[in-house]
Amino acid sequence: SRAYLIARGQERIKMTVRDQDDPGDRDRINESWESHRQEFEIRGPEELAADSQHEWNVMFKLPENLQPSYQGRNASHVWEFQAGLDVKGNDPDSGWVSVQVR
């Protein structure tokens, strides 16, 4: 029924915290949340032949005030993109692909 592209920014925190009362006791913190998510429709309804290949070129613009990519000691901000098709049955997609955004 359509081809689409999803862009998302995700902030991630990974750290180990030591218990002040018992220095041998440690907690691992792994948290993440989306800072931005935007979906773009590439193509509307179309019939595609089975076992065929298709390619679409897409230009899109994200808002200028978004957090860029970074990698810190305990935190990072990553940008990921996923392209896919909405079809009857199993929806094929590219999986999430990470890119650097400045």
- Rounded Cα gap, residues 99 and 84, in angstroms: 17
pTM of this structure: 0.78
User: What three-state secondary structure class fits 4?
Assistant: strand
User: What three-state secondary structure class fits 39?
Assistant: strand
Tens-digit pLDDT string for the chain (102 aa) = 889 999 999 999 999 888 777 777 788 899 999 999 999 999 888 888 888 888 888 888 889 899 999 999 999 999 999 999 888 777 788 999 999 988
Task: Record the tokens describing residue 50, joined without a space.
Answer: 């089975």
Q: Which residues contact 84 (CB under 8 A, 6 or more apart)?
A: 3, 4, 6, 91, 92, 93, 94
Q: Which residues contact 97 (CB under 8 A, 6 or more apart)?
A: 80, 81, 82
